[in-house]
């Protein structure tokens, strides 16, 4: 092993892993506002800067709206930028999310997913990161601290690709991931530099020598074309995400399978679908059922936007049944993942049995046992001839509901 | 570099180009023209939602010969912070980062971002052109609308006085706060020049009479702007590191007797048509108290 391949094994929370990733990516401008449980990401970065380990400017803004605005200004001037937020912070910058995407700026942001008040709750739920899914941001979701680090490095490479030029948010779960320490392989700066060179000086940066206007009024005769180009960037991103993950694998010796991660899926009759930190428990539940002879696999969604249409179709086309368990609810309909997966299946003429569960809102634990219960219930219903199961609110305390 | 002070000695280069989309008599073209001349075009301009979003002209053209970043209503100062830090990270130090924002985008929705950037000491020239209402959306009342003025959301006249944002900016202890008027371009030009030579956030509040919203003939913009100053309704001053100084014609108006009666200013504008005598007195008292504040500040 050469020195450039040196890997430091550190015990890091996902938040610290994110800070290491931003440092390794050589983010030049960091702009953020504190919110629980994102704070330690930015604290760690401040520490790197103070210690002289990271040559970056930190803009300690007075709100998340301003955090994203500062990222937009810096990115439009050509800098590589990083920020992180959570829950209300993400909602507060909602307007600027659309601005960043419309301006085609390769900003990368960490989102520590957290429930939304009222009532106050600081624990994990995916309502925050799923709410801007129409904005033009690529949305990635990691399961482990290692994946947070790797995904942020990959995110810059994808965002800055000229075929894409869209911002990326990388999500991980509050506390389950954000404050849980795991061993993480931290690669050397040298090798990260090889994988991720400095941001190329793109056309249309703010430059007095070659003045351009960003965001001018556009009449109806051209606005649609701007939107079309964003969608084209999204469509191109699918392949680029796969290629970047493969390239990452070749250099760093680990990769994740692109937009979805499949576990014991290929010969499975049933597929469980999850997002984020509880996927480890889901995997264990799959193993237990396999021991009992149930042919089941796990499909973990890694990328929510662009939605992994082809990957989901390929993974689910030969399945007898699909079970979606998710930490979010689109009020008035059902879970967001279930809706989107059902829509993709329908559009591709695939009609497996389908079960959908809302579980673990506001950070309620979803354990291996819980997954087993949901899966048992679904499989029994399927066997009984029920093709559509749910959406069920798993574990709701009926006794306290008035 | 041209010598400031005399209009004909302003740089000839134009940065606000013909064909912009401003209304006849609009103060924006006038004000921005002098600002960019004073900065000799070495400026990246951030423009939040305001009339200038339209004045710039539609895609694929722009009437401004400087780089412009159009941005959301509340976000101008923070965006400027980002641009500034990125320029510094690249080692570019000869470019001014300028915010050109309306009164709504400054005194109301944008004040949080402005306050933040000021507190951070970011090296930005922030110019609020104040046409005293939300003109771009159709003349709705803002925190900068004066007492008694008609707007589409204060149809019987506004009941509250104008928010004193320059004073709020003085309280931030930034290096430079100034008021200016499109009616006095030399004063404006000099202030922008001075601001451009200082480090930190510089705030210039530019009085900008709007013929459409204030209801006066479009050829009277300068006359109205000048009367605002001559009646003492609008005071020209600058505050350099906390030190107050009256400038331009305001310098000789400390003595109340030198000021024209505010009626001369109000009379030209339909927005003040329905003012009662009591309203005029209320406004006059406010103007007097404003001058008392200035007097106190001068003595400081």
pLDDT at residue A1, rounded to an integer: 46
Q: What is the percentage of chain A residues whose pLDDT exceeds 90?
A: 97
Indicate if A17 and A94 belong to the same structural domain: yes
Is residue B5 predicted with pLDDT exceeding 60? no
- Give A153-195 pLDDT, tens digit per residue: 999 999 999 999 999 999 999 999 999 999 999 999 999 999 9
Could you tell me which residues come within 8 angstroms of residue B158 by beta carbon, excluding any fewer than 6 positions away? B141, B145, B146, B147, B148, B149, B151
- Give A109-138 pLDDT, tens digit per residue: 999 999 999 999 999 999 999 999 999 999
Indicate if A291 and A241 belong to the same structural domain: no
CATH class of B13-299: alpha beta
- Give B181-197 pLDDT, tens digit per residue: 999 999 999 999 999 99
- Do residues A381 and A389 lie in contact, with contact meaning Cβ atoms separated by under 8 Å? yes
Indicate if A288 and A197 belong to the same structural domain: no
Residue A306, preceding bond cis, omega within 30 degrees?
yes
Indicate if A246 and A290 belong to the same structural domain: no
ipTM: 0.96
Q: What is the percentage of chain B residues whose pLDDT exceeds 70?
A: 98
- Do residues A196 and A187 lie in contact, with contact meaning Cβ atoms separated by under 8 Å? no
Tell whether A127 is within 8 A of chain B (Cβ): no
Q: End of a domain among A252, A280, A312?
A: A252
Gap from B145 CA to chain A (nearest CA, Å):
26
Question: Between the CA of residue B177 and those of A305, B94, B171, what are the distances in Å?
Answer: 46, 22, 10
- What is the helix (H) or strand (E) element at residue A111, kind and residue range? strand A108-113
- Do residues B184 and B249 lie in contact, with contact meaning Cβ atoms separated by under 8 Å? yes
Say yes or no for a CB contact (<8 Å) between A74 and B53. no
Nearest CA in chain A to B87: A77
Say yes or no for a CB contact (<8 Å) between A70 and B78. yes
Gap from A279 CA to chain B (nearest CA, Å):
37
Say yes or no for a CB contact (<8 Å) between A71 and B82. yes
- What is the helix (H) or strand (E) element at residue A71, kind and residue range? helix A64-76
Provide, as residue numbers in chain A, all residues whose Cβ is less than 8 Å from the Cβ of B60.
Answer: 216, 222
Say yes or no for a CB contact (<8 Å) between B69 and A214. yes
Q: What is the percentage of chain B residues whose pLDDT exceeds 90?
A: 96
- In chain A, the number of structural domains is 2
Indicate if A171 and A299 belong to the same structural domain: no
Indicate if A394 and A246 belong to the same structural domain: no
Name which of B117, B128, B112, B99 is nearest B204 in CA terms: B128
Q: End of a domain among A207, A227, A252?
A: A252
Indicate if A213 and A320 belong to the same structural domain: no
Q: CATH number for the domain including A237? A: 3.40.50.970
Indicate if A248 and A395 belong to the same structural domain: no
- Give A335-386 pLDDT, tens digit per residue: 999 999 999 999 999 999 999 999 999 999 999 999 999 999 999 999 999 9
Residues 187 to 216 of A: which have CB under 8 A from any B CB?
206-208, 211-216
N residues, chain B = 300
pLDDT at residue A201, rounded to an integer: 77
pLDDT at residue B300, rounded to an integer: 83
A315: DSSP letter: H
Provide, as residue numbers in chain A, all residues whose Cβ is less than 8 Å from the Cβ of B83.
Answer: 73-74, 76-77, 206
- Give B60-75 pLDDT, tens digit per residue: 999 999 999 999 999 9
Asked whether the CA dihedral B163, B165, B171, B172 is positive or negative, the reply is positive
Is residue B3 predicted with pLDDT exceeding 60? no
- Give A274-311 pLDDT, tens digit per residue: 999 999 999 999 999 999 999 999 999 999 999 999 99
Say yes or no for a CB contact (<8 Å) between A66 and B46. no
Indicate if A221 and A303 belong to the same structural domain: no
Beta bridge partners of A322: A271, A354
Could you tell me which residues come within 8 angstroms of residue A119 by beta carbon, excluding any fewer than 6 positions away? none
Is residue B1 predicted with pLDDT exceeding 50? no
Residues 270 to 329 of A: which have CB under 8 A from any B CB?
none
- Do residues B128 and B107 lie in contact, with contact meaning Cβ atoms separated by under 8 Å? yes
Rounded Cα gap, residues A265 and A323, in angstroms: 13
Q: End of a domain among A252, A271, A289?
A: A252
N residues, chain A = 402
Average pLDDT for chain B: 96
pLDDT at residue B6, rounded to an integer: 56
Say yes or no for a CB contact (<8 Å) between B85 and A71. no
Tell whether A221 is within 8 A of chain B (Cβ): no
A360: DSSP letter: -
Q: Are strands B124-130 and B202-207 parallel, antiparallel or unpaired?
A: parallel
Coil, helix or strand for A162? Answer: coil
The CA dihedral of B179, B184, B187, B192, to the nearest 10 degrees, is 70
Instruction: Give me the mean pLDDT over the A126-151 stretch.
Output: 98
Indicate if A201 and A326 belong to the same structural domain: no
Which range is most confident: A206-210, B3-7, B235-239? Answer: B235-239
Size of interface A-B (CB pairs under 8 A): 161
Q: In chain B, where are the structural domains located?
A: 13-299
Q: CATH number for the domain including A328? A: 3.40.50.920
Indicate if A227 and A270 belong to the same structural domain: no
A203 against A157, higher pLDDT: A157
Rounded Cα gap, residues A241 and A262, in angstroms: 16
Say yes or no for a CB contact (<8 Å) between B57 and A62. no
Beta bridge partners of A105: none
Indicate if A284 and A347 belong to the same structural domain: yes
**Structural domain for A176, as ranges:** 3-252
Asked whether the CA dihedral A87, A93, A98, A101 is positive or negative, the reply is negative
pLDDT at residue A3, rounded to an integer: 67
pLDDT at residue A203, rounded to an integer: 73
Name which of B115, B234, B135 is nearest B183 in CA terms: B234
Is residue B223 predicted with pLDDT exceeding 60? yes
Residues 9 to 28 of A: which have CB under 8 A from any B CB?
28
- Give A208-241 pLDDT, tens digit per residue: 999 999 999 999 999 999 999 999 999 999 999 9
Provide, as residue numbers in chain A, all residues whose Cβ is less than 8 Å from the Cβ of B99.
Answer: none
pLDDT at residue A5, rounded to an integer: 77
Is residue B143 predicted with pLDDT exceeding 50? yes
Other beta carbons within 10 Å of A118: 5
Q: What is the pTM of this model?
A: 0.97
- What is the helix (H) or strand (E) element at residue A262, kind and residue range? strand A260-263
- Give A44-103 pLDDT, tens digit per residue: 999 999 999 999 999 999 999 999 999 999 999 999 999 999 999 999 999 999 999 999
- Do residues A66 and A117 lie in contact, with contact meaning Cβ atoms separated by under 8 Å? no
């Amino acid at each position: 092993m050469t020195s450039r391949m040196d890997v430091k094994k550190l015990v890091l929370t996902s938040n610290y892993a994110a800070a290491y990733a931003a440092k390794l990516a050589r983010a030049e401008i960091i702009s953020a506002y504190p919110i629980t449980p994102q704070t330690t990401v930015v604290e760690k970065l401040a520490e790197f800067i103070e210690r002289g380990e990271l040559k970056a400017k930190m803009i300690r803004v007075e709100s998340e709206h301003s955090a994203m605005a500062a990222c937009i200004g810096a990115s439009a001037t050509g800098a590589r930028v990083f920020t992180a937020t959570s829950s209300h912070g993400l909602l507060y910058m909602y307007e600027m999310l659309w601005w960043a995407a419309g301006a085609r700026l390769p900003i990368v942001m960490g989102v520590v997913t957290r429930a939304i008040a009222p009532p106050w709750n600081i624990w994990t739920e995916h309502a925050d990161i799923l709410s801007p899914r129409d904005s033009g941001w690529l949305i990635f979701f990691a399961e482990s601290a290692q994946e947070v680090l790797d995904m942020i490095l990959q995110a810059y490479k994808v965002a800055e690709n000229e075929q894409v030029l869209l911002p990326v948010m990388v999500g991980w779960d509050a506390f389950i991931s954000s404050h849980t320490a795991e061993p993480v392989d931290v690669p050397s700066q040298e090798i990260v530099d090889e994988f991720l060179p400095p941001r190329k000086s793109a056309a249309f940066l703010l430059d007095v020598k070659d003045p351009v206007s960003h965001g001018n009024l556009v009449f109806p005769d051209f606005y649609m074309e701007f939107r079309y180009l964003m969608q084209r960037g999204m469509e191109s991103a699918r392949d680029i995400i796969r290629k970047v993950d493969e390239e990452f694998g070749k250099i760093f010796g680990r990769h994740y399978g692109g937009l979805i991660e499949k576990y014991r899926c290929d010969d499975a009759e049933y597929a469980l679908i999850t997002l984020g930190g509880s996927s480890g428990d889901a995997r264990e539940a799959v193993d237990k059922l396999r021991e009992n002879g149930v042919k089941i696999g796990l499909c973990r969604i890694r990328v929510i936007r662009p939605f992994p249409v082809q990957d989901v179709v390929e993974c689910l086309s030969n399945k007898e049944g699909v079970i979606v368990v998710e930490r979010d609810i689109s009020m008035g309909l059902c879970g967001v993942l279930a809706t989107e997966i059902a829509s993709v299946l329908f559009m591709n003429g695939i009609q497996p049995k389908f079960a959908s569960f809302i579980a673990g809102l506001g950070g309620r634990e979803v354990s291996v046992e819980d997954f087993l219960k949901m899966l048992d219930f679904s499989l029994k219903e399927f066997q009984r001839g029920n093709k559509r199961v749910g959406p069920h609110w798993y574990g709701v305390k009926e006794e306290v509901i008035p | 570099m041209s010598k400031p002070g005399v209009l004909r000695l302003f740089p000839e280069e134009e940065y606000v180009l013909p064909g912009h989309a401003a209304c006849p008599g609009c103060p924006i073209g006038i004000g921005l023209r002098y600002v960019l001349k004073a900065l000799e075009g070495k400026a990246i301009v951030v423009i939040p939602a305001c009339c200038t979003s339209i004045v710039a002209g539609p895609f694929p053209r722009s009437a401004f010969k400087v780089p412009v970043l159009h941005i959301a209503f509340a976000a101008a100062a923070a965006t400027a912070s980002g641009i500034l830090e990125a320029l510094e990270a690249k080692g570019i130090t000869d470019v001014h980062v300028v915010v050109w924002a309306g009164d709504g985008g400054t005194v109301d929705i944008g004040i949080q971002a402005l306050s933040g950037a000021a507190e951070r000491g970011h090296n930005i020239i922030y110019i609020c052109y104040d046409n005293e209402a939300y003109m771009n959306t159709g003349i709705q009342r803002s925190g900068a609308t004066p007492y008694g003025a008609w707007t589409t959301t204060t149809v019987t006249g506004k009941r509250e006085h104008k928010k004193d944002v320059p004073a709020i900016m003085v309280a931030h202890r930034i290096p430079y706060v100034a008021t200016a008027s499109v009616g006095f371009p030399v004063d404006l030009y000099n202030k922008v020049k001075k601001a451009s030579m200082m480090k930190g956030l510089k705030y210039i509040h530019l009085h900008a009479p709007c013929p459409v919203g204030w209801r006066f003939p479009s050829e009277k913009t300068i006359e109205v702007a000048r009367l605002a100053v001559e009646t003492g309704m609008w005071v020209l001053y600058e505050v350099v590191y906390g030190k107050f100084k009256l400038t331009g014609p305001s310098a000789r108006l400390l003595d109340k007797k030198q000021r024209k009666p505010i009626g001369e200013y109000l009379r030209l504008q339909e927005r003040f048509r329905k003012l009662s005598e009591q309203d005029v007195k209320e406004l006059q008292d406010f103007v007097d108290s404003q001058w008392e504040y200035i007097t106190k500040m001068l003595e400081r």
